[in-house]
Structure 1
């Protein structure tokens, strides 16, 4: 997974479907580690968000970008590392939120690994439950292919969201958007 943003804009029904997938891709990007390449692409992400119609999704993700750009690169990187790398409470690995023992966690990791393999991908640098990689893959799939794993992940994403809210982290807005996309897709398939 490479966290690239490939906008697909338009107004017909098939293009709106891709827009939700673009939203997931932007969410994956915003939750990724802020490397040098990440900072370079941040302007492209902001420009993409600016093209979207007014909505709570646009407002939420736009606010996250505004928050990030209001800080120095070093300050945001330090915050990101503190929140996601040095905290057992808020990290990017979904199995840490719902598995109560090593055996359950291994079984959950296998579910994620099989999802990647089913779609021709392999996660090399991260565990398969790593949120940005999972979102990026789901952003490339049709709703019918992405929804089962997103639904499987929904409870853990909700736990992460609540923990980010409790610790007053801006990334909670990104989790709000992810959960909104999942709920909309679930509603569309009922």
Structure 2
């Protein structure tokens, strides 16, 4: 299978957007070490700074902030079809489109909804670059909206979406040629 050069940044971003469970905290050192291997210097720096922030954080305070940011906020939750939710028919169509992205790549979700950001990032990391570019272009408007809302909320996770959007733009340049 063709390798996916943005696999590591996508997987690290997915990891950092996951709930900070006990197992998550145990994985921080290994994931922080993997961040040092990121090719793009700007992306590597974002991960190194974010992991530095994580390591300096009190686990309970970090978890509380995570819950406030993603579980209790409609504006910044990680389910992409809930943003700008005024038309439930449109939301259902989007959900089906996201589900189709997984099915087209040969995956099916049994524990998560297909619009869950970490799952979409993992999917894009698991497929060849051409398919990753398609997936990321499908979700780009939602990623940009979430990024803007994270900036408004002054949450450091916005920088992680900058990495995804930058890596996706770089991928578009490579697959277009």
TM-score normalised by structure 2 residue count:
0.93
Q: Are the equivalent residues in 1 in contact too, given 2:74–2:83 (CA < 8 A)?
A: no
Question: What residue in structure 1 maps to residue 116 of structure 2?
Answer: 130
Question: What residue in structure 2 maps to residue 67 of structure 1?
Answer: 53
**Moved beyond 3 Å, runs of 4+:** 51-54
Q: Which of residues 89, 93, 112 in structure 2 aligns to 1:103? A: 89
Stretch of structure 1 that moved more, 155-164 or 112-121: 112-121
Q: Which of residues 130, 142, 165 in structure 2 aligns to 1:156? A: 142
| Structure 1, unaligned runs of 5 or more | 1-13
Q: 1: distance between equivalents of 2:109 and 2:25?
A: 23
Question: What residue in structure 1 maps to residue 174 of structure 2?
Answer: 188
Question: What residue in structure 1 maps to residue 14 of structure 2?
Answer: 28
- CA shift, 1:189, in A, is 2.4
SS in 2 for 1:129: coil
Q: Are the equivalent residues in 2 in contact too, given 1:98–1:156 (CA < 8 A)?
A: no
- The size of the alignment, in residue pairs, is 175
SS in 1 for 2:35: helix
TM-score normalised by structure 1 residue count:
0.87
1:4-45 deviation line (CA, Å, top 9, x unaligned): xxxxxxxxxx8xx64411111111111111111111111001
Q: CA RMSD in A?
A: 1.6
Q: Are the equivalent residues in 1 in contact too, given 2:37–2:44 (CA < 8 A)?
A: no
Question: What residue in structure 2 maps to residue 81 of structure 1?
Answer: 67
The reply to whether residue 56 of structure 1 matches residue 42 of structure 2 is yes
Q: 2: distance between equivalents of 1:54 and 1:97?
A: 30
The reply to whether residue 93 of structure 1 matches residue 79 of structure 2 is yes
- CA shift, 1:138, in A, is 0.9
